[in-house]
């Protein structure tokens, strides 16, 4: 047989170990004009292609350690990122979230709506911003309001959560008082859009929402559902009886906020089409809101000062305001609950004449309202800050829009107005005859708070209770003991700590 047409083995298959290659000759397919031969190695195992057992173990161990390191790093990064992003003090909210909202939502109302929807969704999954830790362990920020000791004197104003979408999310963010609303008796759309504008250089807003509301019944349904879910988690059940147990205080928390050391206020207002000259119809709007919402609130806020509802501020005159507040107080006292909610009235900062202020104080005193909120947004346009700052043409144009202005520039005037109301109410409390002390319609029934509570756009002032100074030795001793509990020890350490604290000066 010709050599070119045969394949021969150098050694027999039986003579070779399994791991030794077999050498064969073969003739490949010709690629040139002449024949050529090449060697082909054929084997089922190879020491050059299969790593040794030790090498394979080392590589496997290295891969496992690498995966463990990467997995641990990713896990810790996610945990730390979660704690950072969900902390209200994280700078990412100010320097990333807010600029992104302003970029993607040039209209302020669209940004507001998206922010509320996002916060509601995040809260449902537990990813909402919250105040972590307890930075006021010594209780320096604690303040007593309507018999409740609040964690701090900070509150959110009405308008942030108009329809009771995110009360718990706002409470979790750290505010001690959250105001829902304004809520009208029947649903109304408010004014035409656009109706909210930003003044970025002043950290201010101009709005003319016009009390857009889903109506008292709709908001009451959400508040009722919130209370019943809380009752279910407390083990009371989810029916009407369980709801009533929570409202009567059996859960040990305020029936509005459902959290210790915090309160929820519900702001009520009349509908736009209800004429302010028809006092009886106006009273019916307010009373209907109170009947529907008051039992789910710790505080009922009567709004008679919105600058965006025609004729509403006319209700701040003494006679109509007294009639309205008296009707609201009477309805609140009839709420089916062991402890009725407090009643406050939100007034305008623009009615600051002496006669206006005294007339409002007379209405507050005669109706038995528990306190004032000073004040709502203003129709005035304060000078820009810092002094001499020139606004851009766009911001100057936005300032001409009709609506209420809110921003830090109003703080000084608001505090000054609060002092005036505080002084008049205090003077009135000490001038009331002794035989009128027991009359519930002659004096508010809440304790005096020496420190007013500040909200985002104003200040809440509690009307003082008519009391007489202690006369007996026992009363004096009890008063001294009570005051001593609130005093810090006079030690060098306490004095040094006090000097190191930052100061916040309230304008004179």
User: If residue 366 lies in a helix (H) or strand (E), which one and from where to where?
Assistant: helix 354-367
- Alpha helices by DSSP H, listed for 126-251, are 167-172, 216-233, 240-247
Question: Buried b vs exposed e over 453-484: b needs ≥16 C-beta within 10 Å?
Answer: bbbebbbbbbbbebeeeeeeeeeeeeeeeeee
CB atoms within 10 A of CB 391: 14
Task: Choose the catalytic residue: 306, 348, 367, 406.
Answer: 306
- 3 state DSSP class of 329: helix
**Angstrom distances, CA of residue 348 to CA of 302, 352, 374, 414, 415:** 12, 8, 7, 10, 13
Taking the C-alpha atoms of residue 36 and residue 23, their distance in angstroms, rounded to an integer, is 17
**Angstrom distances, CA of residue 166 to CA of 122, 162, 179, 180, 217:** 10, 9, 11, 9, 17
Query: By the 8 A CB rule, do 228 and 238 touch?
Result: yes
Taking the C-alpha atoms of residue 200 and residue 226, their distance in angstroms, rounded to an integer, is 36
**Angstrom distances, CA of residue 428 to CA of 347, 439, 459:** 19, 15, 20
List the Cα angle 92/98/101 in 5-degree steps: 130
Residue 131 burial (C-beta neighbours within 10 Å; 0-12, 13-18, 19+) = middle
331: nearest Cα among 371, 375, 289, 372: 289
> Known catalytic residue: 306?
yes
Q: Just list the catalytic residues.
A: 306
């Amino acid at each position: 047989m010709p050599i070119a047409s045969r394949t021969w083995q150098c050694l027999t298959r039986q003579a070779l170990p399994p791991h030794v290659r077999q050498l064969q000759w073969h003739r490949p397919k010709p690629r040139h004009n002449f024949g050529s031969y090449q060697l082909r190695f054929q084997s089922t195992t190879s020491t050059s292609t299969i790593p040794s057992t030790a090498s394979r173990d080392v590589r496997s161990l290295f891969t496992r350690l690498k995966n463990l390191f990467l997995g641990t790093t990713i896990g810790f990064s996610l945990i730390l990122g979660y704690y950072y992003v969900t902390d209200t003090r994280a700078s990412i909210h100010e320097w990333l979230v807010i600029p992104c909202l302003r970029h993607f939502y040039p209209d302020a109302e669209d940004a507001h709506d998206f922010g509320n929807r996002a916060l509601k969704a995040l809260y449902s999954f537990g990813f909402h911003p919250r105040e972590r830790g307890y930075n006021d362990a010594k209780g320096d920020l604690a303040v007593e309001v309507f018999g409740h000791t609040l964690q701090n004197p900070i509150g959110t104003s009405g308008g942030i959560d108009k329809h009771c979408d995110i009360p718990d999310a706002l409470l979790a963010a750290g505010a001690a008082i959250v105001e829902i609303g304004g809520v009208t008796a029947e649903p109304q759309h408010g004014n035409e859009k656009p109706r909210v504008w930003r003044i970025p250089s002043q950290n201010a807003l101009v709005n003319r929402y016009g009390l857009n509301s889903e109506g008292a019944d709709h908001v009451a349904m959400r508040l009722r559902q919130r209370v019943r879910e809380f009752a279910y988690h407390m083990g009371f059940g989810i029916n009407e009886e369980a709801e009533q147990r929570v409202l009567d205080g059996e859960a040990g928390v305020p029936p509005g906020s459902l959290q210790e050391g915090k309160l929820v206020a519900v702001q009520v207002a009349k509908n736009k089409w209800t004429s302010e000259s028809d006092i009886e119809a106006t009273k019916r709007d307010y009373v209907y809101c109170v009947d529907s919402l008051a039992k789910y609130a710790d505080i009922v806020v009567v709004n008679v000062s919105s600058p965006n509802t025609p004729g509403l501020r006319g209700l701040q005159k003494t006679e109509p305001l007294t009639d309205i507040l008296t009707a609201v107080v009477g309805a609140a006292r009839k709420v089916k609950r062991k402890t009725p909610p407090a009643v406050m009235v939100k007034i305008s900062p623009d009615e600051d004449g002496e006669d206006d202020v005294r007339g409002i104080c007379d209405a507050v005193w005669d109706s038995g309202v528990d306190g004032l909120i000073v004040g709502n947004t203003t129709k005035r346009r304060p000078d820009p800050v810092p002094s001499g700052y020139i606004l851009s043409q766009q911001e100057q144009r936005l300032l001409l829009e009709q609506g209420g202005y809110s921003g830090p520039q109003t703080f000084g005037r608001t505090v000054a107005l609060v002092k005036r109301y505080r002084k008049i109410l205090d003077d009135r409390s000490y001038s009331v005859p002794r035989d009128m002390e027991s009359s519930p319609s002659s004096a508010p029934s809440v304790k005096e708070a020496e420190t007013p509570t500040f909200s985002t756009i104003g200040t809440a002032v509690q009307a003082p209770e008519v009391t007489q100074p202690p006369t007996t030795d026992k009363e004096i001793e009890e008063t001294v003991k009570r005051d001593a509990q609130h005093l810090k020890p006079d030690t060098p350490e306490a004095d040094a700590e006090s000097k190191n604290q930052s100061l916040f000066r309230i304008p004179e």
